[in-house]
């Protein structure tokens, strides 16, 4: 059974003469443990597609099954529960709480779960150590460099221990060196069994992935193997 199944997905915004069709009959299947980049020019619909995969938006038409469950008609509360259990996000501008410490930011996905403070501390400390930022755990996020902030964002995604990690232009705010380090971290996460989907316009970023889906004008234009197998 596929992890992600999209069938004939349409997404429309606005009404009447102000209607914009962002996605037009998208079909996409993603299996457990895949590493995919979704590429396309600005306005092609790639971020809309990621939002639907991430249960942050719902399609206007079509069916989306996540791990065998039809999430298309679920209510917001149910979608939120599924996001918390199944999906982690990494954003271009980190989406961190800048008045929180590194530890507090990484711990955020765990507060909705039935874990003791000791269990939360052990999990957070494990991933901070793994990413080489344990020495920063008491530091306010606003004091960190761009590369350090991105590692905090990755630690937050890892600590949730979800099956799926979605990344929207994750290297966009990083220099070339830190961007390469980030993609190597994604490779490591994929080798550990995570399904990773990256939105990017950067061919260099896409070269780290095992499958490249190109979207043009709201439709899948091509679906090919990536350089990394």
On whether the pTM is more than 0.75, the answer is yes
Task: Indicate the pairing of strand 87-91 with strand 69-70.
Answer: unpaired
- Tens of pLDDT, residue by residue over 107-130, are 999 987 888 999 999 999 999 998
What is the second-level CATH architecture of the domain 4-225? 3-Layer(aba) Sandwich (3.40)
* Sequence ranges of the domains in the chain: 4-225
- Tens of pLDDT, residue by residue over 176-198, are 888 888 899 899 999 999 999 99
CA torsion sign, 137 to 141 to 143 to 146?
Answer: positive
- Tens of pLDDT, residue by residue over 28-55, are 999 999 999 999 998 899 999 999 999 9
């Amino acid at each position: 059974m596929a992890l992600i199944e999209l069938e004939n997905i349409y997404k429309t915004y606005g009404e009447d003469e102000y209607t914009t069709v962002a996605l037009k009959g998208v079909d996409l299947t993603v299996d457990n443990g895949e590493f995919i980049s979704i590429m396309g020019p600005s306005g092609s619909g790639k971020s809309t597609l990621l939002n639907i995969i991430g249960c942050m938006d719902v399609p206007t038409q079509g069916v989306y099954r996540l791990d065998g469950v039809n999430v298309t008609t679920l209510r917001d509360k149910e979608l939120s529960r599924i996001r918390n259990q199944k999906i982690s996000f990494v954003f271009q501008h980190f989406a961190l709480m800048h008045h929180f410490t590194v530890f507090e930011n990484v711990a955020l996905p765990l507060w909705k779960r039935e874990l003791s403070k000791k269990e939360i501390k052990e999990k957070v400390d494990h991933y901070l150590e793994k990413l080489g930022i344990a020495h920063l755990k008491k530091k306010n996020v606003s004091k960190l460099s761009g590369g350090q902030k991105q590692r905090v964002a990755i630690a937050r995604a890892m600590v949730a221990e979800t099956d799926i990690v979605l990344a929207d232009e994750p290297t966009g705010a990083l220099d070339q060196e830190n961007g390469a380090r980030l993609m190597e971290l994604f490779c490591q996460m994929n080798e550990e069994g995570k399904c990773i989907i990256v939105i990017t316009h950067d061919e260099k970023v896409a070269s780290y992935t095992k499958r490249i889906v190109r979207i043009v004008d709201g439709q899948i234009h091509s679906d090919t193997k990536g350089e990394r197998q």
